[in-house]
Chains A and B, each alone.
Chain A
Amino acid sequence: MDSASASFDSALIPEGVKRCKLKWFLLWIGILHGPVMVGVVATLMCWGLALNVTYLNNNFPFGLWIAADLGVIALGAGAFFTGFLRYILNIDELKNIVNFAVVIGIMCYAAAQAILGVDIGQPLRGWFIFWHANVHSMLTEVAFCITCYFMVLCIEYLPLILENRQINKIGFFHGMAHHLHEAMPTIAAIGVFLSFFHQGSLGGVPGVLYGRPFAFREGFLVWPWTFFLFILSAIAAGPCFTILITWITEKFARKRLVKRNVIDILARISGRLLVVYLVLKTIDTVYWVSIAGKVGAPFSSFYANHPYGYWVLVLELGILGVIPAIILLSTKARQNENLLVIACLLNCAGIFMNRWIMTVQTLVVPVMSFDKFVSYHPNWVEYASTLLYLWLGAIFISITYRYLPIFPQEKELNPL
């Protein structure tokens, strides 16, 4: 995407950086529209023909969609957490990646809300969650906080748009962008407050289900332990997702966009948080096993249903937890780009697997002794309508990267 020459849209491209020719850019966007169309068809099928076109059923009211929802919101935590580190803890180097973290955050939160719009049986009544809100429901808290935080993200994204070369020539917009930058610490603080709550509430969604011993956890006041574990796991994995997407963008752009020391700060913090999370998660698991056993559910009963055997626990905490933590804690390993990317990939996969377990495996484990085990796997409609937002996210990042100055170090790293 990086062969230089004057294009039809060159006046819109940020000053001092190179972008590929418009025809290659349009071709790339066109290619992405292929899977987008498949996703759009799948979505329209869900809306038009009802949810019988999926493999969801009465035993599995939650499936890929909800797991993906929880997953992308956790991965999008990189936005608020990087903002927290940059604006609240004042780690100045992170100003070089915080813009891109916001872009990734918008992508994730927009995806989460859109997937919910497909998942609910009556999308036109989606607003009932605000209008008839049940303050005792974790889902209500999630809906309010996610919506508010998405607005915060949009406000954080706005100055980037206003800094577009042409828009920024207009005095009003130039001033507005400046003032928004000035207000950014306050906006980031609001985002941090909202995000801590909804990340936690997402953990509360399975944690409060006292009819489901696999998911239920005791807790502190009204918050089950999963509330805190979800916050911790999200801030441990979110920065890794930011690193991962930055790396992919660099590969497509075929140039460095962020200095290694900036990436290293994020990776180091992510590694430390991952260790704390793993320790607390292990304590939680041991406590949960002892409590569940007392009321009649031996540990083995949770992992007795093929394919949800003990390997799930080993994979989630061991391979997708301990291994990336070791890599991210080691300075030498972090400096090896391949190892760093593998660690980030494993960390992100781990968080996704955790969300899958807390939603789908919760429903897999039969609660009544005479209940039959039923398996669930998503069908193409569910996959296509979920992956739709991955392709749309790629388009969004591509357009943002092409026309907006999101990487402050790009000029310095790639002089013309």
Chain B
Amino acid sequence: MLRNARQAGLEPIIPSFQYSIIPWPRPGFSLCGILHLLSHQGGPGFSFGGIVQLLSRQGGPIAKRSEASFYEGVTMKEAHHKGHGKTYKYGMVVDLDKCTGCGACMVACMAENNLPFRKDNSDRLRSSLWMRVYKISNGLPFPDMEISYIPRPCQHCEGHGHHAATPCVSVCPACATDYSHETGIVSQIYTRCFGCRYCMAACPYHVRIFNWWDPTWPKGMEKYLNPDVSVRMRGVVEKCSFCYHRLQRARNKAYAEGRREIHEDEYQTACTQACPAGAITFGDLDNPEHKVYELKKSRYAFRLLEELGTNPKVYYVSTRDWVRKAGDVYTGKKGNDVMPA
């Protein structure tokens, strides 16, 4: 199968962290190459580690093969910014009118992504939750009181205009987080993060969490950890990855079957699949064949804190005015009457 795929001109998909973080070597080392690295704008940035890799691998068989397969016709910079071929913009649409606040998405996320927990996990300010469900009310007395639940994964902000970079990506001093222009997913490299927490301060959605403890599970439970997701050590920042490992798995499957494209249902996040009310829809926001493409165009759709210019890729839909007002501006402008319940 693999041989067939190669003959069809397809190459195996490598995990994005490889090409997004480590500047892959071009054949033949030159000073221009170094300067190119130094001037690498907007992406993971200049890396001494990258230069060492460049020096150690330059001209070698790996470099030549990699260059031929991944960077044919495009520069390394273009590859990072535009992807190696077709680009995607994975995102989510959450129908808040359907969400019952059951928390199944949170549980599924924890199980899927090997999130640790403690005996008393009630301290929400220190617990590890990639997906968190907020409960809000319109603040009116009975019988006019209404409740809504807002599931909040990482918003995978793209930024735009003056703020052309994701809030958290641009501030990370060690390139431990990156925005992939190929998938629209904001990644986190746990083994590179040294825990300065600047990204957490930059994120207005509180999606980034810090590992205040060593990760532990009840005895025997470690056997049920997801082998596709690395367990994070203490002292690093982590966050929702849109179940990126599922995208890798889907791509590998597609490659094995001789396909370059993956179907919508082949890559779905754990929270999407777990939601019993079907409130969460996931897919490529730019693909007219995906459900999210139409859903995000709804006149009732909004995004959290749009006016800040973060350009998030998680859309919410609600027919209730007060819910939309609670989400699309920040404190005070329209959402004065919203109460955290």
The digit string for B79-97, where 1 denotes a CB below 8 A from any CB of A, is: 0000000000000000000
**Which residues of A sit under 8 angstroms from B234, Cβ to Cβ?**
50, 121
The A interface, classified by DSSP as helix, strand, loop or mixed, is loop
The residues in B between 143 and 172 inclusive whose CB is less than 8 angstroms from any CB of A are: 150, 163, 165, 167, 170-172
- A64 contacts the other chain (Cβ, under 8 Å)? no
**Which residues of A sit under 8 angstroms from B300, Cβ to Cβ?**
none
Instruction: Judge whether B332 and A298 touch: CB under 8 Å.
Output: yes
Q: Which residue of A lies closest to B152 (CB)?
A: A368
Instruction: Judge whether B309 and A370 touch: CB under 8 Å.
Output: no
Say how far A23's CB is from chain B's closest CB, in angstroms: 44
Binds A, one of B67-75, B209-217, B247-255, B270-278: B209-217
Binds A, one of B58-66, B173-181, B258-266, B279-287: B173-181
- A205 contacts the other chain (Cβ, under 8 Å)? yes
- A220 contacts the other chain (Cβ, under 8 Å)? no
- Provide 14 A-B residue pairs closer than 8 Å at the C-beta atoms, listed in order of the A residue: A58-B126, A121-B193, A121-B236, A125-B192, A128-B194, A129-B196, A135-B45, A139-B198, A208-B170, A209-B201, A210-B163, A213-B308, A370-B335, A374-B125
**Which residues of A sit under 8 angstroms from B171, Cβ to Cβ?**
137-139, 208-209
Instruction: Judge whether B211 and A370 touch: CB under 8 Å.
Output: no
Select the residue from A52, A119, A362, A374 with max chain B CB neighbours within 10 A: A52
A59 and B125 contact, Cβ closer than 8 Å, known pairs A134-B173, A210-B167: yes
Instruction: Judge whether B196 and A119 touch: CB under 8 Å.
Output: yes
- B330 contacts the other chain (Cβ, under 8 Å)? yes
Find B340's partner among A126, A205, A300, A372 (CB 8 Å cutoff): A372
Q: A134-B173, A138-B171, A369-B332 are in contact. List 5 more A-B contacts (CB 8 A).
A: A57-B123, A58-B200, A121-B195, A134-B172, A368-B331
A136 and B45 contact, Cβ closer than 8 Å, known pairs A367-B305, A370-B134: yes
Instruction: Judge whether A296 and B331 touch: CB under 8 Å.
Output: yes
- A143 contacts the other chain (Cβ, under 8 Å)? yes
- A295 contacts the other chain (Cβ, under 8 Å)? yes
The residues in A between 360 and 387 inclusive whose CB is less than 8 angstroms from any CB of B are: 362-363, 365-372, 374
Q: How far is the CA of A257 from the CA of B45 in the complex (A)?
A: 50
Find B331's partner among A51, A61, A366 (CB 8 Å cutoff): A366
- A122 contacts the other chain (Cβ, under 8 Å)? yes
Instruction: Judge whether A132 and B202 touch: CB under 8 Å.
Output: no
Q: How far is the CA of A135 from the CA of B50 in the complex (A)?
A: 14
Q: How far is the CA of A359 from the CA of B202 in the complex (A)?
A: 11
Q: How far is the CA of A372 from the CA of B124 in the complex (A)?
A: 12
**Which residues of A sit under 8 angstroms from B233, Cβ to Cβ?**
122
Chain A residues packing against B (C-beta within 8 Å): 50-52, 56-59, 61-62, 119-123, 125-126, 128-140, 143, 205-206, 208-213, 295-298, 300-301, 359, 362-363, 365-372, 374
Say how far B282's CB is from chain A's closest CB, in angstroms: 22
Find B202's partner among A123, A209, A371, A372 (CB 8 Å cutoff): A209
The residues in B between 21 and 56 inclusive whose CB is less than 8 angstroms from any CB of A are: 42, 44-49
Find A371's partner among B44, B170, B206 (CB 8 Å cutoff): B206
Find A132's partner among B48, B212, B236, B308 (CB 8 Å cutoff): B48
Say how far B54's CB is from chain A's closest CB, in angstroms: 14
Q: How far is the CA of A119 from the CA of B175 in the complex (A)?
A: 19
Q: How far is the CA of A205 from the CA of B201 in the complex (A)?
A: 10
**Which residues of A sit under 8 angstroms from B327, Cβ to Cβ?**
368-370
Chain B residues packing against A (C-beta within 8 Å): 42, 44-49, 123, 125-126, 134, 136, 150, 163, 165, 167, 170-176, 192-198, 200-206, 208-214, 233-237, 304-305, 307-310, 325-327, 329-335, 338-340
Instruction: Judge whether A369 and B330 touch: CB under 8 Å.
Output: yes
Instruction: Judge whether A296 and B204 touch: CB under 8 Å.
Output: no
**Which residues of A sit under 8 angstroms from B214, Cβ to Cβ?**
50
Say how far A354's CB is from chain B's closest CB, in angstroms: 17
Q: Which residue of A lies closest to B45 (CB)?
A: A134
Q: Which residue of B lies closest to A57 (CB)?
A: B125
Find B210's partner among A58, A135, A371 (CB 8 Å cutoff): A58
Q: Which residue of A lies closest to B334 (CB)?
A: A296
Select the residue from A123, A131, A296, A371 with max chain B CB neighbours within 10 A: A296
Q: Which residue of A lies closest to B135 (CB)?
A: A370
User: How many A-B residue pairs lie within 8 Å, measured between CB atoms?
Assistant: 203
**Which residues of B sit under 8 angstroms from A50, Cβ to Cβ?**
211-214, 234-235
Q: Which residue of A lies closest to B123 (CB)?
A: A57
**Which residues of A sit under 8 angstroms from B330, Cβ to Cβ?**
213, 296-297, 367-369
Q: Which residue of B lies closest to A376 (CB)?
A: B125
**Which residues of B sit under 8 angstroms from A213, Cβ to Cβ?**
308, 330
Q: How far is the CA of A94 from the CA of B165 in the complex (A)?
A: 46
A135 and B46 contact, Cβ closer than 8 Å, known pairs A121-B211, A209-B202: yes
**Which residues of A sit under 8 angstroms from B136, Cβ to Cβ?**
370
Instruction: Judge whether A212 and B202 touch: CB under 8 Å.
Output: yes
Q: Which residue of A lies closest to B235 (CB)?
A: A121
Say how far B51's CB is from chain A's closest CB, in angstroms: 10
Say how far A118's CB is from chain B's closest CB, in angstroms: 11
Q: How far is the CA of A256 from the CA of B233 in the complex (A)?
A: 54
**Which residues of B sit under 8 angstroms from A140, Cβ to Cβ?**
173
**Which residues of A sit under 8 angstroms from B307, Cβ to Cβ?**
295-296
Instruction: Judge whether B329 and A296 touch: CB under 8 Å.
Output: yes
**Which residues of B sit under 8 angstroms from A363, Cβ to Cβ?**
201
**Which residues of A sit under 8 angstroms from B339, Cβ to Cβ?**
370
Q: How far is the CA of A50 from the CA of B126 in the complex (A)?
A: 13
**Which residues of A sit under 8 angstroms from B325, Cβ to Cβ?**
369
A120 and B194 contact, Cβ closer than 8 Å, known pairs A128-B174, A138-B171, A369-B329: yes
Select the residue from B206, B208, B330 with max chain A CB neighbours within 10 A: B330
Instruction: Judge whether A368 and B173 touch: CB under 8 Å.
Output: no
Find A297's partner among B42, B134, B310, B333 (CB 8 Å cutoff): B333
Say how far B141's CB is from chain A's closest CB, in angstroms: 19
A61 and B340 contact, Cβ closer than 8 Å, known pairs A121-B234, A297-B330: no
Instruction: Judge whether A61 and B200 touch: CB under 8 Å.
Output: yes
**Which residues of B sit under 8 angstroms from A143, Cβ to Cβ?**
173
Instruction: Judge whether B44 and A134 touch: CB under 8 Å.
Output: yes
A121 and B210 contact, Cβ closer than 8 Å, known pairs A129-B194, A134-B45: yes
Instruction: Judge whether B235 and A132 touch: CB under 8 Å.
Output: no
Select the residue from A133, A206, A301 with max chain B CB neighbours within 10 A: A133
Q: Which residue of B lies closest to A206 (CB)?
A: B201
**Which residues of A sit under 8 angstroms from B340, Cβ to Cβ?**
370-372
Select the residue from A132, A295, A301, A366 with max chain B CB neighbours within 10 A: A132
